[in-house]
Amino acid sequence: MQPAAQKVEHQLTDKGYVPVYTTRVIEQPWASYTAADHQTWATLFQRQRELLVGRAAREFVDNQQRFGMSADAIPKFDELNRVLRAATGWELIGVEGLLPELTFFEHLAARRFPVTWWIRKPEQLDYLSEPDLFHDLFGHVPLLLNPVFADYMQAYGAGGVKAAAIAPEALVNLTRLYWYTVEFGLINTDEGLRIYGAGIVSSKGESIYSLESAAPNRIGFDLERVMRTRYRIDTYQKTYFVIDSYEQLMEATRPDFTPLYARLAQQPSHAAGDVLACDKVFQRGSGEGWLDDGDV
């Protein structure tokens, strides 16, 4: 028998909260979810679905419906996998918490998306410092049904394996790309800007802030620009990058990044809130409420 699934979280040490990494792949212990866990899912699901009407990219909600996700209960990975495998050949795997970077890349490169099995506590509805089941399933999984986005995610994983063998700085550049697209991306549609980033759609506050606040910049996606831009892990983003389509993302990232990493290593990075002369600006942020330090 498999050992019981663990919940691996940040731990408080004398250096503050530090992330703890785990590599084990586990069966989703669905029967162990309590009524309170299902209630947490229901509360978050309903709240975000209401907020995301007219804010999230259309296929985001459509795809949740194709999966049969609802507020009724925490979805079963097995059931989602039946839909997902048939559509794009991706598969969800259960994990206990954050994975080491290379392990994460290897899963993506093999079209396996790691999903944290545990869900946040009721007192963490609005914020927690690491991915949980709600962020992973509600936020990331819907777009894996989109064939172009699904290919992008696999290519990103393969690119990560490659970058890890090049230099730590290459990984920094690549991680910025993931952050500003997969986690915090906006997309320009006929109906206006919409959210597709998982970090936004799974956050009540940022779902509104990213689109409606006057504070952040909203700037057209440019690969090198994004890979040079630092970001925030502890506040809403100062800048959101806007793609025109998932095809644009796929095409921009198709070339071999090896020479790009070499070039980027010679160039300084941009602060999270910088606006450059070359930017295609949808909105120049007012900067209200920004902290001066803490970009990573």
Question: Which residue of the chain is nearest Co ion when measured via CB?
Answer: 198
Stretches 65-73, 204-212, 215-223, 254-262: which one binds ligand PHE (CB under 6 A)? 254-262
**Tokens linked to 294:** 């803490």
Amino acid identity, residue 17?
A: Y
155 binds ligand PHE (CB under 6 A): yes
How far apart are the C-alpha atoms of 17 and 11, rounded to whole Å? Answer: 5
70 binds ligand PHE (CB under 6 A): no
Question: Which residue of the chain is nearest ligand PHE when measured via CB?
Answer: 159
CB 163 to ligand PHE: min, Å: 6
From residue 189, give the alpha-carbon distance in Å to each of 28, 98, 103, 192, 227.
36, 33, 34, 5, 24
User: Phi and psi for 131 in degrees, rounded to 5?
Assistant: -65, 140
157 binds ligand PHE (CB under 6 A): no
CB 14 to Co ion: min, Å: 28
Among 77, 149, 184, 257, binds ligand PHE (CB under 6 A): 257
185 binds ligand PHE (CB under 6 A): no
Q: Would you say 27 or 244 has its CB closer to ligand PHE? A: 244
Q: Would you say 7 or 263 has its CB closer to Co ion? A: 7
Residue count at the site for ligand PHE (CB under 6 A)?
Answer: 11
Q: Helix 147-166 vs helix 77-88: angle between axes, to the nearest 10 degrees?
A: 90
Q: Would you say 257 or 290 has its CB closer to ligand PHE? A: 257
256 binds ligand PHE (CB under 6 A): yes
Angle at 267 between CA 287 and CA 246, to 5 degrees: 65
Among 113, 149, 156, 179, binds ligand PHE (CB under 6 A): 156
Q: Which of 44, 16, 82 is nearest to 203 (CA)?
A: 44
CB 158 to ligand PHE: min, Å: 6
User: Phi and psi for 124 in degrees, rounded to 5?
Assistant: -110, 20
106, with CB counted inside 10 A (0-12, 13-18, 19+), is middle
Pairing mode, strands 186-189 and 192-195: antiparallel
Residues at the contact surface with ligand PHE, assessed by CB under 6 A:
152, 155-156, 159, 162, 177, 253-257
